[in-house]
Amino acid sequence: MEDVTARRTVVVTGASSGIGLAAAVDLAGRGDRVVLVGRDPARLRDAGDRVRDSCGEQPELFRADFAVLDDVRRLAERLRAAYDRIDVLANNAGAIVLQPVTTVDGFELTMQANHLAPFLLSNLLRDRIGRMVVTASGAHRSGVLHPGDLNATLRRYRPMRAYGTSKQANILFAAEAARRWPDVPAYSFHPGVVRTRFGNESPVVALGMRLLPFRSPERGAETLVWLANQDPARLTSGGYYHDRRPRRPLPKAADPALAARLWTASAQAVGIEE
C-alpha cells in the first residue's frame, strides 16, 4: 500500500521532451520529486531547467541510451544507489525508427528502445518500484509480434509496423507484470496522437506533425499523470487506458499466453532470470 502522505519519488524515462517532459512538469508541480531520464545531455539539461522553472526545484538527471542495454544496466545501478524506493516508474521512453537499425546488442532498434530496455530496467528495479506506468499506443493495431523472433520486423522493414509491434509488446508487458508482480500495480495507456519530436528525420513526417491537429504533449501526458496518482483500488492492474478510462486493446495485445511467451523471450534476450 502506498504512503500517500510522504513525498513520492517518480522516475520518468524519455523525459527530455514531449509526453515525458510534460508529465514531469505536472508531477513536480504536484509536489513529487521527479527524476528525469534521457538520452541527449543538452536536451536533458534543458528539460531539467524547465522543471525547475515550473516548481522551483532542480530535478535529478540521469543520462542513458536505451539503444545500449549496458547503459540501461548502469542506469539501474545508479537509480538503486540513489533511491531506496521509486514510488512510480514511468516507462515512457520510445522512438519511431525510419530505417532498419540493429543495435550493438543485436536487436531491432524500435523493439529494444521501446520494449526490451524498459523491460530490463523494470526488472532490475523491481524490488524498489511502487507502481509502473507504461506509455503504449493505439498503434498496437499494426503490431505483428512473434516472441520467438523479436527481430522479425527487420525483414521488409516498415517503420509503423515495427513501432506498432513494440507498442503491442508494451501492453502485453504491463499486463504480464501485473500478473507476476501482484504487489506492483502496472498500467499501460494510449496518449493519443501527440505532437512530439518523433520522425523529425523525415521531412514528410515533420510536415505532418506541423499541419495535422495532433494533441499537445500536455494533453498526451494527462492519462500518465492520472495513472500515477489515482488510488490503485479504483484501477485495474494490468489494464490499458485512454483518456483516463479503461479501454480494451485489440485481442493480439490482450492474449495472456502471448504475454507470458513475450516475457520469457524478453528475459532471455536481456539476460535475466524469470
Domain with residue 219: its CATH number is 3.40.50.720
* Average pLDDT score, the chain: 93
pLDDT digits (tens, 9 = 90+) for 194-229: 755 554 455 544 554 455 557 799 999 999 999 999
Estimate the crossing angle of helix 69-82 against helix 117-124, to 10 degrees.
30
In a domain, 3, yes or no: no
Is residue 157 part of the annotated active site? The answer reads no
Grid coordinates given for 1: 500500500
Query: On the CB side of 46, how many CA atoms lie within 13 Å of its CA?
Result: 9
Q: Report the percentage of the chain scoring pLDDT > 90.
A: 88
**Separation between Cα atoms, residue 188 and residue 133, nearest integer Å:** 6
| pLDDT given for residue 235 in this prediction | 98
Q: Could you write out the three-class secondary structure of 224-240?
A: HHHHHHCCHHHCCCCCE
Grid coordinates given for 251: 485481442
Q: Report the percentage of the chain scoring pLDDT > 70.
A: 91
Tell me the average pLDDT across 255-262. 98
Listed in sequence order, the DSSP H helices in the chain are 18-29, 41-55, 69-82, 109-111, 117-124, 159-180, 203-211, 217-229, 256-270
In a domain, 2, yes or no: no
Query: Does the structure show a pLDDT above 60 at 32?
Result: yes
| pLDDT given for residue 260 in this prediction | 98
**In terms of residue numbers, what domain contains 216?**
9-270
Tell me the average pLDDT across 162-166. 98
- State how many domains the chain has: 1
Find the distance separating the first CA and the last CA of the chain, reported in whole Å: 25
In a domain, 1, yes or no: no
| pLDDT given for residue 195 in this prediction | 58
Which of 5-19, 52-66, 100-114, 249-263 is predicted least confidently? 5-19
In a domain, 114, yes or no: yes
| pLDDT given for residue 1 in this prediction | 43
Grid coordinates given for 25: 512538469
pTM, whole model, 2 decimals? 0.92
| pLDDT given for residue 210 in this prediction | 52
In a domain, 158, yes or no: yes
In a domain, 173, yes or no: yes
Which among 83, 157, 163, 240 is annotated as catalytic?
Answer: 163
Which of 65-74, 186-195, 236-245 is predicted least confidently? 186-195
In a domain, 203, yes or no: yes
Q: Could you write out the three-class secondary structure of 248-259?
A: CCCHHHCCHHHH
Ranked by mean pLDDT, the top range of 184-188, 191-195, 209-213 is 184-188
Tell me the average pLDDT across 176-201. 83
| pLDDT given for residue 193 in this prediction | 81
Query: Does the structure show a pLDDT above 60 at 266?
Result: yes
In a domain, 49, yes or no: yes
